Structure 1
Amino acid sequence: MYRRPRLAALAAGVLLTAGVGSTVPASAAPPRTAASGAAPATAVVTNARWGGHGSFDRIVIDLRNSRPHVSVRSVPVLPYDGTGRKVPLAGKHFLEIRLSPAVAHNDAGHSVYRGPKLLKVHLPVLKGLALTGDFEGYVTFGAAFDSKPLHKTTRLHSPERVVIDVRHPPAGCGA
């Protein structure tokens, strides 16, 4: 006698669950990888490098595992993540480069990042580069410049990396 109401309640629960799952927008679902169908692993930041070119200076951040969200913004001062202490880079203008979700350490807490932690650079526009944080799923870098940086951010693949190109000022403009 009590079997039918239980079956009806179970069927209603299954239908409601299926209906709720099908109404979640695709943008709310975690991204999937093509190979496994699972959410991608956190990006691992392994290196940062730089170079001067004819009309721009370039910063390259090497990655493993996935492509994190990248934000590059001008900031008045560069703080170390977690402490807020000022990063000792000489310059008048700064870019904060933030990657997330990302880490620069392994599961045991040991650094896997092999690039510079704090470095003075002698390029036409880039004057310094620092790893300013590897904290709570964010890896942050700071870059120092004498003049306001005009930059373009690009993602390159095979291997994964983030590239920030900073344009040299036009000739005769004075930095």
Structure 2
Amino acid sequence: MRHQPHRRRITALATGAVLTAALALAAPASAAAPAAVRSTTPLVVNARYGGHCAYDRFVVDLQGSVPPYTVTPVSELVYDGSGKPVPLPGRYFLEIRLHPAAGHDDAGTNVYQGPKLQQTGLSKLKGIALTGDFEGYVTFGASFDTPPTWTASVLHAPERLVVDFPHPASC
């Protein structure tokens, strides 16, 4: 009889330890996920444009690496998701699409700080618009009065996609 209180105490301590371990293991996965899982999707943080003597330039600034991209002529510019027309002047249009990419972080907070819809007044490039940030795609539209030619390249430190639109020298 003398050893029973000692055994009860050991049993109670062991039971408490098992319950504590079980509760720790039963914690929802989402409680640990934010610290353990971080998206590696490149973030589109800005877009800008500029006129130069023999070309106009459109630049997309990224946080992370530059993802695969396409530059495609389209008959009109529309906003992703809604399909509504983008109100930019011009008769010729290019769609510039990056994937995978996002203009928002994993919490849904907007990180894109560039223009959403902008007439440029440049020699070749007449306007730009952010036309989509949807399901891993970030899309821009560019407008022109005459058929555009372009070259696209990736520059580093900082990471950015550069699209140049040559035109007759104006300097």
**TM-score band, normalised by the shorter chain?**
0.7 to 0.9
Q: 2-side partners of 1:118 and 1:88: how far apart?
A: 8
| Alpha-carbon distance change, 169 to 93 in structure 1, aligned in 2, over 3 angstroms | farther
Q: 2-side partners of 1:102 and 1:77: how far apart?
A: 23
What TM-score results when the alignment is normalised by the length of structure 2? 0.74
Distance apart, 1:66 and its partner CA: 1.8
8 Å CA contact 2:61, 2:160 repeated in 1: yes
1:78 aligns with 2:77: yes
1:108 aligns with 2:107: yes
- Bigger share in helix: 2
8 Å CA contact 1:43, 1:101 repeated in 2: yes
Cross-structure match for 1:26:
none
Cross-structure match for 1:56:
55
- Deviation track 1:108-131 (CA, whole Å, cap 9, x = no partner) reads 212100000001111001110100
What SS does structure 2 have at the residue aligned with 1:103? coil
Aligned length: 132
Long gaps (5+) in structure 2: 1-38
Cross-structure match for 1:12:
none
What is the letter of the counterpart of residue 110 of structure 2?
Answer: S
Larger Rg: 2
What is the letter of the counterpart of residue 72 of structure 1?
Answer: V
What SS does structure 2 have at the residue aligned with 1:102? coil
4+ runs deviating over 2 angstroms = none
Q: After TM superposition, list the pairs within 5 Å mapping 1:1-150 onto structure 2.
A: 41-150=40-149
CA RMSD of aligned residues (A): 1.4
Aligned-residue identity in percent: 56
